[in-house]
A and B are shown apart, each in its own frame.
Chain A
Amino acid sequence: MSHLQYSVKRLLQAIPVLLGITSITFLLINAMPGSPVEVMLGPTATEEMIESARVRYGFDQPLHIRYVKYIIAVLGGDLGRSIHYGVPVTTKILERLPVTLLLLVSSFTFAISVAIPLGIASARRRNQPIDHASRVVSLIGVSTPNFWIGLVLIIVFGYYLQILPSNGLVMPFTPISEVSGADSRLDVLVETLRSLIMPTIALGTLQMAAISRIERSSMLEVLGRDYIKLARAFGVKESVISRKHAFRNAQLPVVTIIGLQLTSALGGAVLTETVFNINGMGRLIIQAIRTQDYALIMGTTLFFGFMFVVGTLLTDLTYAYLDPRVTYDGE
């Protein structure tokens, strides 16, 4: 089976999961207080809107019909209408999505680029000071609530040292005029970086700690394998062994863990965005709950699920790329 075939296969496997997520949100919508009309359209809907929605969502029809219509609607990108913002839910989500994506990409980049070298160094110098230090740091990292890290960072760097902004995230493509103190695109980018540092650390620490732990244990395990011993017996240098022979094998469980970390990162984004007042999707869901904007709540939840499925898909494809055994039919 080639990589392409495997990718297609995985994509197809994702479809029932997406369907399942949609079903869950459908169930939750129907559990919400108020009539489905209110949930999907809000109390300010006009007669015409209700009428057309009646057809689209099948409000007065039995449950299973409503279910089908809901799925069709979702497929068409229709997630209802936000009462608070007065725009379709999809619009609002797409508006906030880039912010959250930037935050996620940034925190994972931070996490991976710190965790992998740290884990490897820890494995190679087992039971030496750097190993002990990194293990303690990792332990603290997986035990600390990310919103608390954010709070502490804000207090130290935002309030006392006043060197980093603690309110909101500046996106790279924001018009220059909207960014205070900025005269050029470069200034805006600098501001982006500055506003990104603390949220990245807050969100990424848990990821970094978890990944470095698995990196370490995976490297240790791989370094004990027979093929490593064979390479040594044939005179391969130790640095080449860990860099080339061991590394790729060790990454396999790490990739899996990164996939699992996605779910906690997405949840963590909600908390981080709240602490730093960042207008991303995470904050959106909280704001939606405060304003009882049910369509928005459900739409955002659904979207989070979609994001996770996409993320897992990418992780699986990366794993298959690294491990030639995965795409092989016979084994």
Chain B
Amino acid sequence: MSTESADTDPESEPEYEARVGGLHALSRLLDDTTAKISLVLIAIISAMALFAFIDAEFLDYQLASTYLYHPLRAEGGAQPLLPPVGLSNEFGTGVWAHPIGTDTRGRDLAVRILYGSRIAIQIALVSTTIGVVVGTIVGAVAGYYGGWVDDVLMRFVEILYSIPFLVLVIAFMAAFGRNLTYAMIGVSIISVPIFGRLIRSEVLSIREETYVEAAQAAGVKDRNILRRHIIPNSFAPVVVQTTLQMGTNILIVAGLSFLGFGAQPPTPSWGQMLSIARNYMLPAPWFSVWPGVAILVTVMAFNILGDGLRDTLDPRLNE
């Protein structure tokens, strides 16, 4: 940790690194093989998602060939519900052009799953970020000031927490709208209480630490105390929870998509693909497999990363 020369004015105290120096934590993290695996996985998934952000038309133009069909549009002569390579069913035999088969409209499954990652990651990222930011503000204020502010805020959080996540988002979307934007808002709303509570409990314990007392005695403004001392020191569990929450939110979004709330067709999303697959279980069972595997792998990557982070950042307490 670096320290710079201190001025006499307490307000201009040097910026200290958070107790968990970023680089230090990262290097320790990379010692852990499972964490490495998960980072690789997440890198792959993010690359996929990024790839999917590229304009579809542009992609189609660049890669137009018999090998990759346009994921959002089936051309004439498309073969619906083809099985994966090597298998055959009433619709035909699998071909290498569509390694894991096609969907009901003849669109290549592999590419659709690739594009589906975009929705998953997009929503998870946005909603988790909003959840962290808003939750941090709420939790920090509630924890630091205590008193009636704390009571009111926590009461609100508790109420929000009391309606099962999925049900609340569904009801929310039933009232306001069923598209992607409202899905994101809904999932953000339910992410806020989780972080709010977490930050609050961190703040409560850090608030009692002597260095906070010292800063208060030196006349440092509250918001600066929060910003420089309290929030950096509560960093560790928040990072862990953020990672895990990304995974959880992906699961929630998948569930929403499965039920028809979320990205509307023809935009591909994994949950929605499973919902369609359900109607074709007999003729095309594999259709049900792959989107689920995609969800599983993605969420697992975040969970492994979150666990790895937790082991890296928290054991300092046990040492």
A residues sitting closer than 8 Å to B (CB atoms) are 16-17, 20-21, 23-25, 28-29, 31-32, 139-140, 142-145, 147-148, 151-152, 154-155, 159-160, 262-268, 270-271, 274-275, 285-286, 289, 294, 297-298, 300-301, 304-305, 308-309, 312
Contacts and interface: CB of A to CB of B under 8 A. Distances in A.
B171 A271 contact: no
A282 to B, nearest CB: 8
A139 B300 contact: yes
A139 B166 CA distance: 22
A147 B258 contact: yes
A87 B277 CA distance: 34
A139 B167 contact: no
Given A28-B172, A142-B303, A147-B258, 8 more contacts: A143-B300, A145-B251, A145-B255, A147-B274, A151-B277, A262-B164, A266-B167, A267-B166
Contact of B288 (A24, A152, A265, A312): A152
B163 interface: yes
Given A143-B299, A143-B300, A270 B162 contact: no
Given A144-B292, A155-B281, A304 B174 contact: no
Contact of A267 (B158, B165, B296): B165
A270 B174 contact: no
Contacts of A25: 171
B288 A148 contact: yes
B223 interface: no
A297 B285 contact: no
B255 A21 contact: no
Interface string B277-298: 1100110010011011001100
A271 B166 contact: yes
Would you call the interface of chain B mostly helix, strand, loop, or mixed? helix
Contacts of A301: 163, 167-168, 170-171
Contacts of A274: 258-259
B175 A267 contact: no
Given A20-B159, A31-B175, A155-B288, A267 B164 contact: yes
Contacts of A16: 155
A17 B158 contact: yes
Interface string B226-254: 00000000000000000000010001101
Nearest to B176: A31
Nearest to A148: B292
Would you call the interface of chain A mostly helix, strand, loop, or mixed? helix
Contacts of B161: 263
B241 to A, nearest CB: 13
Contacts of B166: 266-268, 270-271
A301 B162 CA distance: 11
Contacts of A309: 162
B304 interface: yes
B271 interface: yes
A140 B170 contact: no
A71 to B, nearest CB: 14
Contacts of A32: 174-175
Given A20-B156, A301-B167, A148 B162 contact: no
Given A16-B155, A24-B159, A286 B281 contact: no
23 contacts: A17-B155, A17-B162, A20-B158, A25-B171, A139-B304, A142-B299, A143-B251, A144-B299, A145-B292, A148-B296, A152-B292, A159-B285, A267-B166, A268-B166, A271-B255, A285-B171, A286-B259, A297-B171, A298-B171, A301-B168, A301-B170, A308-B163, A308-B164
Nearest to A13: B158
Contacts of B299: 142-145
Contacts of B300: 139-140, 143
A173 B166 CA distance: 30
A143 B162 contact: no
Contacts of B176: 31
A152 B295 CA distance: 14
A160 B281 CA distance: 10
B171 A140 contact: no
B164 A151 contact: no
Contacts of B271: 145, 147
Contacts of B170: 270, 285-286, 289, 301
A270 B281 contact: no
A151 B274 contact: yes
